Amino acid sequence: MSTFRGLPTSTRQQQRIFVDAILRRLVCEQEIAMEVVCTNIDNILLLGSSLRAPTYQPTA
């Protein structure tokens, strides 16, 4: 069995697959977070949900 840095090649390959999967998940989570931020900004601009936006206040 061949080795690389003292570990069997199959172990190194498994580690690489694991690290690749983690990195893909992190990138996916970042993309989802960015989509949420962009959607929130769009909603604020579209709906006027800012501090100065007029609000409905029924008369008493």
Confidence band for 35, pLDDT divided at 50, 70 and 90:
confident
**pLDDT: is 36 or 55 the higher one?**
36
**pLDDT value at residue 55:** 59
Query: Is this prediction's pTM over 0.95?
Result: no
**pLDDT value at residue 39:** 78
DSSP 17-59: HHHHHHHHHHHHHHHHHHHHHHHHHHHHHHHT-STTS------
Residue spans of the domains in the chain: they are 3-47
